[in-house]
Amino acid sequence: MQKLKYLSLLAGLLLGVQMLCAQDSYILHTVLKGQGLYSIARIYGVTEAEIIALNPGSDKVIRTGEQLKIPQKQINKEAAEETANGYIHHTVQSGETIYRLTITYGVTGEEIYQANPILRTEPLKAGQVVLIPDKKSTVQQVSKSKSDGEEDAEDTPSKQKGFKVKGAYGNKEKASDSRSSDGESFWSRIFGKKKKTYVQPVDTTDCAFQHVVQKGETVFSISRAYGVNEAELLAANPVITDNRIKRGQVLCIPKKSKTQQEETPTGKQQEETPVEEQPKDVTPDVWHSDALQVALILPFMLNENTSTPTADQAKMVEFYEGFLLAIDSLRDADVSIELHVYDSGEATRSIRPILESEEMAHMDIIFGPMHAQHVAQAADFARAHSIPLVLPFSRNVTQLASNPYLWQVNADPSVIEEEGINHFFELFPKPNVLFFQSKGVTDAFCTHLQNELDRREMPYHVFPAETTNDVRPFMEACSRDDQADNILMMTTSDNASLSTMLPVFQLVMRDTAQVADIHLYGYPQYQTYANSHANEFFELDTWYHTAFYTNNNRPDAASLNRKFKRMYGREMGARYPRYGLLGFDIGYWFLNGLSHRLNAPAETVFAGLTTYRCSTIQTGFNFNRVSPTGGYTNAGIYVVHMRADGQIFKVDFAW
């Protein structure tokens, strides 16, 4: 048997263990629970008869875990013409899907989307010509480039930009994402592990102190101000080219050379200038610069004696790392930021020493903390100093109704529920809902939806959720109205109940093809079930609402994932939501929005963010003020559509 080749699936969702047997020209497909010949044939673009021909007896019964031979169709020579530019021109045949093309040509769905951006918004059409990356040509080109000594521009350290990070943890240790003077990384100082770092700070070994470049300053004016000559200033800062410096740039002010320390006639050195009398670890007042002053307060718990990171510590570090990537992206947009990082420690520890530090009163915005006691202390501080406080994790914040400086990112479940109901009727203005009741349990969202259907005098039906092959009652309940949408919906988000009913839903879908459209509508938890129910969700044309969603095959998500791995030497944790993406989205959305509003009157800067829109990767943002004297809560959610043609779309109603 030929070497096993794992097939890349559309949207990164697993359909089952598959392998391509090139010599015998068939694919081995492992049958998943609830799958039938019809759905399997649709996945691979073949007929049921072709599957039965290779698998005698499969027309009578197939079992979960059984392996079926799926005919591997040869590339249509008339449909595919290899070109010299690294692509194959493929003419779409009737019934072909993106997934089918990935199998035929051995490429991923994302590679096809990148070559044909229009396919992200429009389905494949028979007769359409699409570009397929020629893997053989690409491999040869990459091999040649590497042999010629070419270097990946993204991995070249000199291409990376830095930014300034200040910090004061519980032990007053200055923290940054960059290496300290002894070569330790931030991760190493927290958990004792060496990790890749990417910010390239000023080397302070031979610096009297550091200077943040202000608007209008030049190399000449700075050298005069500190009593050093231009040559020494340039030598201490090799990043300066052609005597050009930028506002917000951090420069090393070198220690005076012996030749500059002139002695008096009595043999004593002259008294140093006031600038030189400053302690060497003093940094100029950063809040007087044009850079945004940003504080990040997270429970890193550095003072805890842990040899390995706990789950909570790992989440906070990943959030911080994503936040740093957001700042790095904003640097490309010429946004100057001073980031101050603090460790809030355990929930029982007070953060008042952090809040009472001199620089905190000069912050433009504060992110965090997490624990309820810390949130209460930070909220009081934000109100007293008129500083916006962004709460990335907290729900049910008691001060939200009366504190206009609070921004709650993690919305209350009731808010998500209300938004989900509104969007449901936007998508399905004339729904006919078939509810399937499981063990007498009804989710709050489902109860709300039923009440709203009653209020609007719209029809719905409730059936017991149980395994059955008699789908006639369900078919009879389906509407034949061309303007209607038949919605199949469980009354609970429980995965076990859903798994039981999915085969029944598939039967309903197949046997009612002549009636109005049929869809499965679900809950935010369906995102976590997608790996195990991918083919069923696609066949049932599934929809669900969620506050967090990302398709890792989309260019923005794929690019950030690559950058994260390159910078930190590992993948993001497999959590929901992913904390690295959460840190990136929150940092980018707020700081980008704030940077474009600094010239507005102070009282309108943050109120204006309620109408601000910015593309994000995982988190939806749409802030509403909870009361005339209160803060803001996030009502941004997505609706995800797993279409029957194998494509996934995220609908963002905030735009």
Rounded-to-integer distance, Cα 655 and Cα 94, Å: 35
Least confident piece of the model among 131-135, 149-153, 281-285, 642-646: 281-285
pLDDT at site 87:
83
Q: Which CATH superfamily is domain 10-71 in?
A: LysM domain (3.10.350.10)
pLDDT at site 595:
77
pLDDT at site 107:
77
pLDDT at site 136:
59
Judged against a pLDDT cut of 50, whether residue 387 lies above it is answered with yes
CATH class of 414-546: alpha beta
Mean pLDDT of the chain: 75
Judged against a pLDDT cut of 60, whether residue 320 lies above it is answered with yes
Kindly state the tokens that stand for 434. 């078939």
- Residues of each domain in the chain carrying CATH 3.10.350.10: 10-71, 80-140, 202-260+272-284
Neighbours of 387 (CB within 10 A): 19
Average pLDDT over residues 603-612: 71
pLDDT band for 277, please (50, 70, 90 cuts).
very low
Least confident piece of the model among 138-142, 179-183, 423-427, 550-554: 179-183
Q: Are 89 and 80 in contact (CB under 8 A)?
A: yes
pTM: 0.58
Rounded-to-integer distance, Cα 532 and Cα 541, Å: 16
Strands 365-367 and 389-391: parallel
Q: Over the stretch 45-63, which tens digit does the pLDDT of each residue have?
A: 678 888 898 999 888 888 8
Average pLDDT over residues 7-36: 47
Q: Over the stretch 196-238, which tens digit does the pLDDT of each residue have?
A: 322 333 344 467 666 777 766 788 778 777 778 877 888 788 7
pLDDT at site 587:
95
Helix 555-568 and helix 579-595: axis angle, to 10°? 110
Q: Which residue has the higher pLDDT, 382 or 150?
A: 382
Q: Which residue has the higher pLDDT, 287 or 324?
A: 324
Domain 80-140 classified CATH 3.10.350.10? Answer: yes
pLDDT band for 596, please (50, 70, 90 cuts).
low
Q: Over the stretch 69-101, which tens digit does the pLDDT of each residue have?
A: 888 765 554 566 656 567 888 888 776 777 677
pLDDT at site 610:
78
Q: Are 392 and 518 in contact (CB under 8 A)?
A: no
Average pLDDT over residues 306-332: 85
pLDDT at site 33:
63
Judged against a pLDDT cut of 90, whether residue 582 lies above it is answered with yes
Q: What angle do CA 51, 56, 61 make, to 5 degrees?
A: 85
Task: Classify domain 202-260+272-284 at the CATH topology level.
Answer: Membrane-bound Lytic Murein Transglycosylase D; Chain A (3.10.350)
Distances (CA, A) of 110 to 104, 503, 523: 15, 29, 26
Question: Half-sphere exposure of 71 toward its Cβ, with a 13 Å CA cutoff?
Answer: 16
